Structure 1
Amino acid sequence: MDKVNMEEEAVNTEEVIEESMDNIQESDEKELNEETKEEESVEEATAQTEDQESGKKGFFGKKKEKKDKKDEQIEELTDRLKRTMAEFENFRKRTDKEKEQMFEVGAKSIIEKILPTVDNFERGLNAVSEEDKSSPFVEGMNMVYKQLLSSLEECGVKQIEALGKEFDPNLHNAVMHEENEELGENIVSEEFQKGYTYRETVVRYSMVKVVN
C-alpha cells in the first residue's frame, strides 16, 4: 500500500471515530433529558399527592372540630347533674342546720320548764332544820335533787358561777346594788336565783346583788 492510500484510510478512520463520538454524545444528552423529565414528573406527582393529602387533613380536621350532637347532649346533662348535686348538698346542709337549731330551741324550752322544779327543791332543802336533815325523807329528797342536777349536767346544762365572782352582764342580771368595803368593786355579793347555760348558751341569767 502506498503512502497516499494510507493517509486516506487514516482520514476515513478519524471521520468514523468522530461520527461515532457525536452519536454517543447525542445519545447521552437524550438520555439525560429523558431522566430530567422523569424526575420532574415524579416531583410534580409527589407535590400533587402532598397537596391532596393536606387538603384531606384540613377537611377532616375541620370536621373533627365540630362537636357531635350526642357529645353536646352528654356535656349538657353532665353539667345539669353537677348543678343538681351541688343544690342538693346545699339543701342538705341547710336542712341539717335548721334541724339542729330547732332541736336547740326545743331543748331550751324544756330546760326552762324544769328549772323552776330545781328551784323548789333548793328552797325546800334550805328550809329544813338541822335536826330534820338526817331524816330519811329529807335524805331521799336530797338524793332526788342531786340526781336531777346530774341528769341536767349530762344533757349539757351547767350552773353559772356568780357568788364572789366579778359581775358579767353576759351571765348575770343585777337586780340590787350595795356598798361593801370588804368586797371589791363590781363583785357579786349575793345570789337570789341561780342561772344556767345549755351548751355554752345562757338559758337563764343569774339574779344577783352587785357591789358598787
Structure 2
Amino acid sequence: MTNVNDEFKENEEVVMETPDNTDDIIESGEDTEEIEIVENGEETIVQELTEKLQEEENKRLRLLADYENFKRRATLDKEALQKYRAQNVVTNLIPVLDNFARALTVEATTEEAQTMMTGLDMIYRTFLQALEDEGLVEIQALDQEFDPNFHQAIMTGSDEDKPAGIVLEQMQAGYMLKDRVLRPAMVKVNE
C-alpha cells in the first residue's frame, strides 16, 4: 500500500504542473480529464483518511468500554471477596458447631457433669456468637414450606394436621453466610 503522504505529494505535483491558464483550459474543455483525476484523488484520500479515523475511533471506544467493564468486574470481585472472606473458615467450623449441639443434648446425671455442661453451653454460645458476627445464619426449617434452595429432603412423613410440603422435622441444621447457602437443612417433609 502506498503511503498517503506520497499519494498527496504526487497529486500535489500534478496540480503544480498544470498551466497558469487553467481557467482558459477549463472553459475550452482542454485537459479537463487531468484536473478531474486530481480532484477525484483528493476526494479518495479524504475518504480513506475519514474511514481510517472512524475505524481508530471505534477501536478506542471498544478499548475504553473493555477497560470500564474490567474495572467494574474487579470492583465486584473485590466486594465479593471482602463479603465472603470468612466462607472457608466458617464452612470448616460448621461440623464443630454440630458436635457442640449434640454434646449439649446429653443429660447430665451428676453435679460435676451438670457443671461441665454449663461450661460447654457457655463455650457453644460464645462460639455461635462469633460465627454470627461473621454473618452465619441458621436456616429456619421446622414448620416452614419446603424450599429446595434451603432444604434437603431426606425423608417424607405423613401428618394430616399439616398441609403437604411442610417441613415436619429438621434432622440437621442448615446454615447461610450472608446470602449464600453453605449447607442446606436436612429435613423430613410432609407428603
TM over 0.5: yes
Structure 1 SS opposite 2:181: strand
* Structure 2: segments with no counterpart, 5+ residues: 1-59
CA displacement at 1:91 relative to structure 2: 3.6
Name the SS of the counterpart of 1:163 in structure 2.
coil
Deviations 1:1-21 (A, max 9, x none): xxxxxxxxxxxxxxxxxxxxx
Residue of structure 1 in register with 2:14 after alignment: none
Q: What is the RMSD of the two structures over their aligned residues, measured on CA atoms? A: 3.0
**Residue in 1 that maps onto 2:186:** 207
Amino acid at match of 1:150: Q
Quote the residue 1:140 is aligned against: 119
1:147 corresponds to which letter in structure 2? T
Summarize deviations over 1:108-156 as a string: whole Å, max 9, x none: 2221110000000000101233666982211111011011111111111
Q: How many angstroms apart in 1 are the aligned matches of 2:112 and 2:152?
A: 32
Equivalent positions of 1:106-185 (< 5 A) are: 107-129=86-108, 135-185=114-164
The higher radius of gyration belongs to 1
- Whichever residue aligns with residue 211 of structure 1, its letter is N
The residue identity in structure 2 corresponding to 1:127 is V
Whichever residue aligns with residue 123 of structure 1, its letter is: R
TM-score normalised by length of structure 1 = 0.54
Aligned pairs, how many? 135
Q: How many angstroms does 1:94 deviate by?
A: 2.4
2:76 corresponds in structure 1 to: 97
Correspondence list, 1:54-73, <5 A: none
2:143 is matched by which residue type in structure 1? G
Over 3 Å counting, the alpha-carbon distance change for 1:105 and 1:142 in structure 2 is same
Identical columns (%): 35
Secondary structure of the equivalent of 1:151?
helix
- 8 A Cα contact 1:132 1:138, kept in partner: no
Q: Which runs of 5+ in 1 are unaligned?
A: 1-80
Distance 1:85 1:130 in 2: 72
Q: Shift of residue 86 of structure 1? A: 6.9
Q: How does 1:19-98 map to 2 (within 5 A)?
A: 90-98=69-77
- Deviation (angstroms), 1:99: 3.0
For 1:115 and 1:106, the matched residues in 2 are separated by 16
Query: Structure 1: how far apart are the matches of 2:111 and 2:78?
Result: 48
